[in-house]
């Protein structure tokens, strides 16, 4: 279903799941704004993806390794300077991906702090709708100022390249550029933040894994892959709408019907993964769906993996006595959020 073009990612399609039982409001053409490319179908989606692929290539991602390592060490330094305990989400898991994706785009340190604050509000389903919309609008306005500055003084960053190569040539307008930048920021921040915190939950329950991470740099990649599988933070699934009748394993899904692809369930499928509820970084490698599949597989996967591998390895090296300050059963998991995770993770070392 994830690779079949008969299933659309466009939320405006008839039957597209809304995650709510409320009636779908009638679309207002006058208010239709530029959409994020992740909600587009082919060929429109492919056009945007081709614009962005060079920024997330293996070469460019690897070139960011020294900078990611520096940010990780800086955050650990700051965390340990404050004492011997902290809220890991606040002092590490949120700032790391926020700063990395902002630096990739060309948003400075202060902008990363603004984004982190506004996105936390905009993505919180417990906030009032007006408050969420206001926070998103405020950061969009801030981003518009950044784009104006990049136009006047371009740098070696993704926003500057998009302005020069896409906006200046008429392939994108300013509204489309802002929507694309916002989509990259949110996708590159929210998921990695919560994967970092959930990963620590697993690793602190098995201290021998922290020791392996500290002593064997090659262990980071399979450990991260298994952590991605066991948690699959997109736990509410991937939404699609059928644009024509499709038969899936003997069942007909009619045009105009919505479907939710339960990727978290797929990543614990016993027909694919032996003993699927057990964290086993030494299991036979099998592809998981933590980053999706098909044309919409996460563009930033190489960067997310790099951040997770570096962060978890450096934490293991520098904080070998790391532990949780609460029982796992006492932690408050984000069951109602689209991205699963933790809003707080009290740790000590």
The structural domain count of the chain equals: 1
CATH of the domain at 272: 1.10.630.10
Helix axes 220-231, 207-215, angle to 10 degrees: 140
Residue-level pLDDT at 22: 54
pLDDT tens column, 165-204: 999 999 999 899 999 998 898 888 999 999 999 999 999 9
Does residue 27 lie within any of the structural domains? no
Q: For residue 23, name the pLDDT band (cuts at 50, 70, 90).
A: low
| pLDDT for 26 beyond 90 | no
Residue 123, class by beta-carbon neighbours within 10 Å (0-12 exposed, 13-18 middle, 19+ buried)? middle
Cβ count within 10 A of residue 214: 18
Helix axes 109-122, 129-152, angle to 10 degrees: 160
Domain that holds residue 334: 7-19+36-348
Q: How many whole angstroms separate alpha carbon 319 and alpha carbon 313?
A: 10
Residue-level pLDDT at 187: 86
Reference 39, options 144, 186, 154, 146; nearest CA is 186
DSSP one-letter string for 300-326: THHHHHHHHHHHHHHHHHH-TT-EESS
Does residue 2 lie within any of the structural domains? no
Does residue 53 lie within any of the structural domains? yes
| pLDDT for 219 beyond 90 | yes
Does residue 151 lie within any of the structural domains? yes
Does residue 144 lie within any of the structural domains? yes
Does residue 1 lie within any of the structural domains? no
Does residue 304 lie within any of the structural domains? yes
Q: For residue 117, name the pLDDT band (cuts at 50, 70, 90).
A: confident
Does residue 56 lie within any of the structural domains? yes
């Amino acid at each position: 279903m994830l690779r079949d073009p008969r299933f659309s990612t466009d939320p405006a399609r008839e039957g597209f799941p809304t995650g709510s039982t409320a009636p779908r409001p009638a679309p207002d053409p006058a208010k239709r704004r530029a959409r994020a490319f992740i909600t587009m179908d082919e060929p429109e989606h492919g056009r945007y993806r081709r614009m962005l692929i060079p920024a997330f290539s293996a070469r460019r991602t690897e070139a960011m390794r020294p900078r990611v390592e520096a940010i990780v060490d800086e955050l650990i330094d700051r965390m340990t300077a404050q004492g011997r305990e902290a809220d890991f989400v606040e002092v590490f898991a949120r700032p790391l991906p926020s700063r990395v994706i902002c630096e990739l785009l060309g948003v400075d340190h202060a902008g990363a702090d603004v984004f982190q604050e506004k996105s936390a509000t905009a993505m919180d389903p417990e906030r009032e709708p007006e408050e969420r919309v206001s926070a998103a609008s405020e950061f969009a306005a801030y981003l518009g100022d950044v784009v104006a500055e990049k136009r006047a003084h371009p740098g070696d960053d993704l926003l500057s390249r998009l302005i020069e190569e896409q906006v200046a040539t008429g392939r994108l307008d300013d509204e489309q550029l802002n929507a694309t930048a916002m989509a990259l920021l949110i996708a590159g921040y929210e998921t990695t933040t919560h994967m970092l915190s959930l990963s620590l939950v697993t690793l602190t329950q098995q201290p021998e894994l922290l020791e392996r991470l500290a002593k064997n740099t090659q262990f980071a990649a399979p450990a991260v892959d298994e952590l991605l599988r066991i948690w699959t933070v997109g736990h509410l699934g991937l939404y699609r709408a059928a644009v024509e009748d499709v038969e899936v394993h003997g069942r007909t899904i009619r045009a105009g019907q919505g479907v939710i692809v339960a990727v978290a369930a797929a990543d614990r499928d016993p027909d694919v993964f032996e003993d699927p509820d057990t964290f086993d970084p030494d299991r036979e490698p099998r592809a998981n769906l933590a980053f999706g599949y098909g044309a919409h597989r996460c563009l930033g996967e190489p960067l997310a993996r790099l951040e997770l591998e570096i962060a978890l390895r450096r934490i293991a090296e520098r904080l070998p006595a790391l532990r949780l300050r609460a029982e796992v059963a006492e932690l408050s998991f984000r069951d109602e959020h689209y991205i699963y995770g933790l809003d707080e993770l009290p740790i000590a070392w």
